[in-house]
Amino acid sequence: MIKRRKTKTVKAGFVKIGSVAPIVVQSMTKVPTVDIARCVRQINQLVAAGCQLVRIAVPTRADTAAFVKIVQKANVPLIADVHFSPSRAIEAIEAGAAKIRLNPGNIKDKKSIYRIIDAAKMHKTAVRIGVNEASIRDLRKRDIPPSKRVALMLNKMKKYVRLFEMRHFTQLVLSAKSSDPLRTIEINRKIADAFDYPIHLGLTHAGLPEDALVPSAVTLGTLLAEGIGDTIRVSAAGNPVVETEMAKQILASLGLYRKPSVELIVCPTCARAEIDIVKLARRVKKAMADQKIGNRKSEIENPIRIAVMGCIVNGPGEAADADLAVCAAKNKAFIYKHGKKILVVPESKIISVLLEEAQKL
């Protein structure tokens, strides 16, 4: 069981961020913010996928003008992603942002920061201070050693936080991102030691989804396993729904997120496999989803475990703790229920028999 690091509680609209609340999954829209209809559609898709906070970039005045309307149509608190422009930050706060993200690397003027803080206080808007390694000018030179990079990022964070604390503003979430997993782990450990504000985790510029998943899972997983992290985003190029699904998988693998209603265990296959296991596993997954197997509340809390195994040599033993198991043989399959063999069925009947047995469970 993971012991979360104790933090202050920050409210982004109706969503609580911090150790009192479950870890919050967030993502970003990737359509033009001025295209209000597409933006709202993507927000709805993200919410349906399990996203609890959605961030939207507001680089221009037209974007913050659209943001006002998007806030009214969205059924989830929105975060305005602000770079370079203090005016955009204030416009987004006034537009109803539940939280804004500021980058200390590009909003540095003290007077402007104070204006933002005062507006955030007045509108009860939370603020994420998001330090990005790539946007700190002193870190753009290639020959700076990793330890110095981490020290400089931490220093930047400390100075920025001090400005907010001097104004008695504590609705802060902190984040420090790099595209380097080890540096991201190290800087977040240091931030966790130095502050008791909630931490947002992410590995920046992680790449295409297939390239982003492993580095993100390693980086975020390491920190989450140490109890560090109160909200996460997996950054990947492309559809943000995929980011959300990856974030949920990382959390679920550590027991930090509700498991899916059907948990599929699939053997890795080897030379003993008597059937195309990947194809069969995909068919089982689709059939369970189509029939909404396991979608009732009690089953969500206690998912049905279905194992798809390639042979009867090792399959039954390895699938012993599954509720249902299919162990393939030549042109047929052995069906197990709670570790006991109940049926032998031809290959063509595997899916229908599994569905029937799953319904009984």
Binding site for ligand SF4 (CB under 6 A): 267-270, 272-273, 309-311, 313-315, 318
CA dihedral 191, 194, 196, 200 (to 10 degrees): -10
Contact assessment for residue 29 and residue 55, using Cβ atoms and an 8 Å cutoff: yes
User: At closest approach, how far in Å is the CB of 15 from ligand SF4?
Assistant: 42
Look up residue 15 and give its two tokens: 């969503």
Nearer to ligand SF4, 179 or 314 (CB): 314
Nearer to ligand SF4, 79 or 307 (CB): 307
Nearer to ligand SF4, 21 or 281 (CB): 281
Long-range contacts of 313-316 (CB under 8 A, 24+ apart): 313/272, 314/267, 314/272, 315/267, 316/341
Nearer to ligand SF4, 108 or 282 (CB): 282
From the centroid of its chain, how far is CA 305? 23
Long-range contacts of 57-60 (CB under 8 A, 24+ apart): 57/28, 57/29, 57/33, 57/81, 58/33, 58/82, 58/88, 58/91, 58/92, 59/83, 59/85, 59/88, 60/88
Nearer to ligand SF4, 166 or 278 (CB): 278
User: At closest approach, how far in Å is the CB of 289 from ligand SF4?
Assistant: 23
- In the bound complex, which residue of the shown chain has the CB atom lying closest to ligand SF4? 310
Q: Which residues pair with 262 in a beta bridge?
A: 304
User: At closest approach, how far in Å is the CB of 304 from ligand SF4?
Assistant: 20
Q: Which residues pair with 17 in a beta bridge?
A: 10
User: At closest approach, how far in Å is the CB of 330 from ligand SF4?
Assistant: 13
From the centroid of its chain, how far is CA 28? 11
C-alpha–C-alpha distance, residues 172 and 12, integer Å? 10
Nearer to ligand SF4, 107 or 319 (CB): 319
User: At closest approach, how far in Å is the CB of 264 from ligand SF4?
Assistant: 14
User: At closest approach, how far in Å is the CB of 284 from ligand SF4?
Assistant: 15
> Collapsing DSSP states into helix, strand and coil, what is residue 174?
strand
